[in-house]
Amino acid sequence: MSVDLSTATNRADHDDPAHRADSADRVDSADRADSADRVELPDLADRARAALARLDALSSESKVDPADRIGWAVARFDGGDHVGAAEDLTACLDGWIPREFAEAAPRILAGEQAVRFAVAALDGEHPYRSFKSGRSGPEDAVAGTLARLVAGDPDAEEALLRAVLMIRPDEDRRWAHLRAARISAVFAELAEAYVGEPDRLDRWSAALLAADDQPCLAAAAALFGPLGLAEVDRRCGTVREIDGTRLVAAFVAADRFDDALTLATRLEPSRQQRALLTLATPGLPPARAKALVAAFRKCPKGGRERDVQMIYQHRFARLFLALERVDDALAVLGRMRDCRVSGYGPGPLALEVLRWLDGRREAATSERLCAVLDVLVGPGVIPQELAAVVADVVPLAHGLADERMRAEIVDVHVPRLRARLRNTRSGLLVDAGLGAALVEAGDATALDPVFAQAANGRTDSRLSLVLARLAARAGLLARDRELFTRLVAGALSDGYWWFAEALLPTLDAETRPVVSDAVAAVPADNRRQVVVIARFAERAGDSALLAAMLGAAPDAESTWRVAGRVAMMLARHGQSSDALDLARRCGLVGAEPG
């Protein structure tokens, strides 16, 4: 019974895209609230109106979250009102466009409607903006989504290219990277729309403003993949760093390994490491695997600082795992020291090795398990990093071990791990991990003493989250509802929204009603997670939980946002009249909220 804390404790931009997944979006459509616990939609609408009536009118100065406006348009679309959804999405052009737009726009807008939207966006700042301030990668550029909308319309494509190729003030010096990002985003999206049509490269090359812009064309990776690196060099000259990783992936997809490897070794150290890591796959022919390892050994680390060195080592170990060379990965793990960049220290790597072994149980020898556990009690892993992984490590290792090794884990390794956390508030995490292992082995109540001890003492937020999730899986609700509620309240008490996001998907329709009582036990000034819970409830179709958040909202802004989620739930179920009424009151629609 392993507890994956990655969504709550590792917010870093990790190599693995799975680490960046939004857990609140993963709501199983089959896991809907039981009808007996439902609040009927008309009643839910009335409750939302009553909650809003107790507030002053939403003023024009009040800030409505742009992501909520996108969410409203999507809900309206899902409820069958496609025209209204398109109108509301178009209205979002009057403000900053959030990342949610990238997924919503291609769903809601199609054909001439999509083109009209994109052309309208060209009259403002949107083609030059990122979804999030401070981000400058192609994946962050609004222009990429606009390219998806105009693809197939020659006039609109040309207009978009003219806009993104424009050199704006300081973009020849200080802000050149922003221009590069938006151009890369547009060419990448257009190339995906014209796979198999390499003649498009000639047209786009002719549209470039100057010879200095020719490297921008390398962003059209989907077209260059089958053509190879020589054609990229001929047309583009030097490949910009911003486009290198995408081209490497395109060469791999086109079975051009040598081109991918050659291009990867031209990139700057961090990008080079990530690009080489993408080339490591199980079953890679021995000659290619040997060349890949040699290339990674030669790859610059990027500096002498310990954190930079450890990031390199962490990636090297992951490359060995991808090539099925676990002993080489363990050798790297044994040399690692603490890394202050979240997700790249020996602790997370130890957990990754165990997960790799869990997928190949025949390779999970006692010697390898001991090697991993010995690293975790060594000087290279600081208590904070150990606390982040130990509740996963212990049940994983216990589940992989034979009987002799299981006894050694309980009698030797667990006490050593506990000693490393003795002077921290996270000490019970080791016992939580061991209890989870014993529950998995058949002792259904093994965790109950840990739950009781934690509920009666002072714990940190990570421990509270781990125990609440374990309690849901261990069936504590049926044995002690009050204790289960206290554990859930502990996980929510600090108000960190990502803890709520990590906890909620682990609760089913039977255990979710406890959330209402748990939130009620949290002081009002610490209920920042109410909006996150409302979002989850709306997506899960849990009207009772959503209604409870209306009553638990600690302030006017939270009440407006929860009521906005009520509007979205109503819209998804075709209750357009009540949905529109609430959406207007919450500022999601119309020019005069109130």
305: left (phi over 0), alpha (psi -120 to 50) or beta: beta
What b/e readout covers 308-346, taking b as 16+ CB neighbours within 10 angstroms?
bbbbbbbbbbbbbbbbbbbebbbebbeebbbbeeebbbb
Tokens of 313: 């080592």
Distance CA 183, CA 573 (A): 40
- Number of other residues whose CB lies within 10 A of the CB of residue 38: 16
Report the pLDDT value the prediction gives residue 42, as an integer from 0 to 100: 93
Distance CA 128, CA 143 (A): 7
354 contact partners, CB below 8 Å, separation of at least 6: 369, 372, 392, 393, 396, 397, 400
Report the pLDDT value the prediction gives residue 331, as an integer from 0 to 100: 98
In three-state secondary structure terms, 568 is helix
* Lowest model confidence (mean pLDDT) among 200-214, 229-243, 474-488: 200-214
Give the single-character DSSP code of 410.
Answer: I
How confident is the model over 538-563, as a mean pLDDT? Answer: 94
Report the percentage of the chain scoring pLDDT > 70: 91
Q: What is the pTM of this model?
A: 0.87
Distance CA 103, CA 115 (A): 16
Return the half-sphere exposure (C-beta side, CA atoms, 13 A cut-off) of residue 265: 14
| CB contact at 8 A, 244 and 266 | yes
- Number of other residues whose CB lies within 10 A of the CB of residue 438: 18
Q: What is the pLDDT of residues 299-341, one digit of tens each?
A: 999 898 999 999 999 999 999 999 999 999 999 999 999 999 9
- Residue 36 pLDDT exceeds 90: no
* Lowest model confidence (mean pLDDT) among 275-289, 362-376, 449-463, 518-532: 449-463
Own/partner long-range contacts of 289-294 (Cβ < 8 Å, ≥24 apart): 289/323, 291/261, 292/261, 292/319, 292/323, 293/319, 293/320, 293/323
- Residue 92 pLDDT exceeds 50: yes
Distance CA 66, CA 224 (A): 36
Own/partner long-range contacts of 93-98 (Cβ < 8 Å, ≥24 apart): 93/117, 93/120, 93/121, 93/124, 93/126, 95/66, 95/69, 96/66, 96/129, 97/66, 97/126, 97/129, 97/131, 97/142, 98/65, 98/66, 98/67, 98/70, 98/131, 98/132
Q: What is the pLDDT of residues 223-271, one digit of tens each?
A: 999 999 999 999 998 899 999 999 999 999 999 999 999 999 999 999 9
Q: What is the pLDDT of residues 45-75, one digit of tens each?
A: 999 999 999 887 766 556 789 999 999 999 9
- What is the phi/psi pair of residue 445, to 5°? -105, 15
Q: What is the pLDDT of residues 395-443, one digit of tens each?
A: 999 999 999 999 999 999 999 999 999 877 788 999 999 999 999 989 9
Task: Break the chain into its structural domains and give their ranges.
Answer: 33-62+461-594
Where does residue 545 rank: exposed (0-12), middle (13-18), buried (19+ CB within 10 A)? buried
- Residue 30 pLDDT exceeds 60: no
Distance CA 401, CA 364 (A): 7
Tokens of 2: 């392993």
Q: Which of 477, 482, 486 is nearest to 459 (CA)?
A: 486
- Number of other residues whose CB lies within 10 A of the CB of residue 265: 14
| CB contact at 8 A, 237 and 216 | no
How confident is the model over 101-114, as a mean pLDDT? Answer: 95
Q: Scan for tokens 């040309």, then name that residue.
A: 158
Report the pLDDT value the prediction gives residue 174, as an integer from 0 to 100: 87
- Residue 26 pLDDT exceeds 90: no
Distance CA 219, CA 241 (A): 10
Distance CA 339, CA 247 (A): 30
C-alpha angle 354/357/361, rounded to 5°? Answer: 135
- Number of other residues whose CB lies within 10 A of the CB of residue 14: 17
| CB contact at 8 A, 505 and 23 | yes
Give the single-character DSSP code of 378.
Answer: S
Q: Which one has a higher pLDDT value, 118 or 496?
A: 118
Q: Which of 429, 497, 496 is nearest to 469 (CA)?
A: 429
Q: In whole angstroms, what separates CA 211 from the centre of its chain? A: 38
